[in-house]
Amino acid sequence: MIAPSLLSADFARLADESQRVADADWLHFDVMDAHFVPNLTFGLPVMQAVQAVSPVPLDCHLMIDAPERWAPGYAEAGARNVTVHAEACTDPRAVARDIRAAGALAGLALKPGTPLEPYVEVLRDFDTLLVMTVEPGFGGQEFITEVLPKVRRARELVGTGHLQLFVEVDGGINADTIEQAAEAGADVFVAGSAVYGAADPAEAIAALRKRAAA
């Protein structure tokens, strides 16, 4: 699945920007609070406005402190998937339960330096594992290749049936890096600048899809 990130879109034209990627699988919505990460983007009211007009289901990535307070609201608003950061949660299982009870898939995100092993059992309660392939906070950064073993390990745990979830990669995904991420076992690919920075976002999505399947 390809999930263009609205972070690289024109914020003054969010409705049009969601239309321009109508053939994507998920529309990635990066919520930043200027605390968990240094940057600040948009929150629940903006998500609700986009949700009302987007032809693509929303994939909300909450880069915020105290995600337990906000995550269920995004699910209630109609998000397909709501992802919280492991580093920001005191009780990830409880957050997953609340997100699922509100009708969305539940995701757990790991920063590049956060190991997977301590979260393997917790991940049995999640539908998505988001492996950050850049430090969260900004679009347009370079893909961190060193994170790929974490993607491989996650795919292995899915392969043995120990985990049942999407393995999503986020950060620095373009026509070159998507092949490595796909080869390592990712099945959801977030791409901000590679899609919205292209002259034709629909064409960029098709090209990424092709490279991921190569």
Binding residues: 5, 28, 30, 61, 137-140, 170-172, 192-193
Q: Is residue 17 involved in binding Zn ion (CB under 5 A)?
A: no
Per-residue DSSP letter, 143:
P
Per-residue mark of binding to Zn ion, 141-170 (x: CB under 5 A):
-----------------------------x
Contact 87, 113 (CB under 8 A): no
Residues 6+ away with beta carbon under 8 Å from 168: 3, 83, 107, 128, 129, 130, 131, 186, 187, 188, 189, 190
Interface segment toward Zn ion; rule CB under 5 A; list 9-17, 61-69, 115-123, 200-208:
61-69
CB closer to ligand DX5 out of 127 and 170: 170
Shortest distance (Å) from residue 112 CB to ligand DX5 = 11
Q: How far is the C-alpha of 124 from the C-alpha of 134, rounded, in Å?
A: 25
Q: How far is the C-alpha of 63 from the C-alpha of 171, rounded, in Å?
A: 13
CB closer to ligand DX5 out of 92 and 171: 171
Annotated binding site for substrate: 5, 61, 137-140, 170-172, 192-193
* Element containing residue 169 per DSSP (H, E): strand 166-170
Shortest distance (Å) from residue 101 CB to ligand DX5 = 25
- Which of 30, 59, 98, 168 binds Zn ion (CB under 5 A)? It is 30
From the list ligand DX5, Zn ion, none, partner contacted by residue 171 (C-beta under 5 to 8 A by kind)? ligand DX5
Contact 50, 60 (CB under 8 A): no
Q: Is residue 85 involved in binding Zn ion (CB under 5 A)?
A: no
Catalytic residue ranges: 30, 170
Shortest distance (Å) from residue 105 CB to Zn ion = 15
Q: Is residue 61 involved in binding Zn ion (CB under 5 A)?
A: yes
**Counting every residue, how long is the chain?**
214
CB neighbour class for 168 (10 Å; exposed up to 12, middle 13-18, buried from 19)? buried
Q: How far is the C-alpha of 197 from the C-alpha of 201, rounded, in Å?
A: 8
Footprint of ligand DX5 (CB under 6 A):
5, 7-8, 28, 30, 61, 134, 136-141, 170-173, 190-194
The contact set with Zn ion (CB under 5 A) reads 30, 61, 170
